[in-house]
């Protein structure tokens, strides 16, 4: 008698958004990829492999069995990878955490949110469309807006960070801590801490 193999249990799906390819690797739009990689390194997870139209790895983070996904579909089609992984691994929308860049917050500000709009972010638009809902959690990494008003925001997000890796590391570490808090204590706890940190912007949640 053959045994039926069921999908390995995954409690949460952490999605880092970005674009594949060396030309985008250091761009502001790839902040989600950078945070996902920082999370993988911190918790000693295995090297991600190609799966579910993205780079995928499973492991334990903050006492939870977690999958980390970095879609390789390009930003505008991120939802294809996320919906495929969520369906195959039976992960409900409310257990998905999406990490992404956000121009509405100053550089380096980290914010948590559950549900809500997409703010014009094409990766979020794709995910909402493919999942059929907005109930997933978000960890937003502030990248600010260009000082020159004539710079097209679409060009801005695709340009590399001006800061060095040493300057960026603490920001991505904070985002990792935000993900960890969502996993261990819930989205409300993460919002309560990160959305009220002194950052020069008012708490909007």
Transcribe 65-83 into DSSP letters. Answer: EEEEEEE-S-GGGHHHHHH
Instruction: Round to whole Å and give the CA distance between 167 and 128.
Output: 32
* Residue bearing tokens 């008012």: 202
Instruction: Round to whole Å and give the CA distance between 170 and 107.
Output: 12
Question: 128-136: which pairs have CB atoms within 8 A and are 24 or more residues apart?
Answer: 128/79, 129/79, 130/79, 130/80, 130/82, 130/83, 131/79, 131/82, 131/83, 131/86, 131/93, 131/96, 133/93, 135/93, 135/94, 136/93, 136/94, 136/96, 136/97, 136/98
What percentage of the chain's residues is helix, strand, coil (to nearest 5)? 40, 20, 40
The residues annotated as belonging to the active site are 29
Q: Which H/E stretch holds residue 127?
A: helix 122-131
């Amino acid at each position: 008698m053959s045994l039926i193999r069921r999908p390995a249990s995954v409690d949460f799906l952490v999605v880092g958004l970005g674009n594949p390819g060396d030309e985008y690797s250091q761009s502001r739009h790839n902040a989600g990829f950078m945070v996902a990689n920082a999370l993988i390194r911190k918790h000693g997870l295995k090297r991600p492999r190609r799966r579910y139209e993205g780079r995928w790895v499973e492991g334990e983070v903050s006492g939870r069995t977690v999958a980390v996904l970095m879609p390789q579909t390009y930003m505008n089609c991120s939802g294809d990878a996320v919906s495929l992984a969520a369906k195959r691994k039976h992960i409900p929308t409310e257990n998905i955490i999406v990490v992404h860049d956000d121009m509405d917050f100053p550089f380096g500000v980290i914010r948590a949110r559950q549900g809500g709009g997409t703010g014009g972010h094409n990766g979020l638009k794709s995910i909402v469309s493919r999942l059929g809902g907005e109930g997933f959690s978000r960890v937003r990494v502030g990248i600010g807006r260009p000082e020159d008003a004539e710079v097209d925001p679409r060009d801005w997000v695709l340009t590399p960070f001006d800061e060095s890796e040493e300057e960026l590391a603490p920001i991505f570490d904070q985002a990792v801590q935000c993900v960890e808090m969502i996993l261990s204590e819930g989205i409300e706890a993460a919002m309560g801490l990160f959305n009220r940190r002194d950052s020069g912007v008012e708490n909007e949640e």
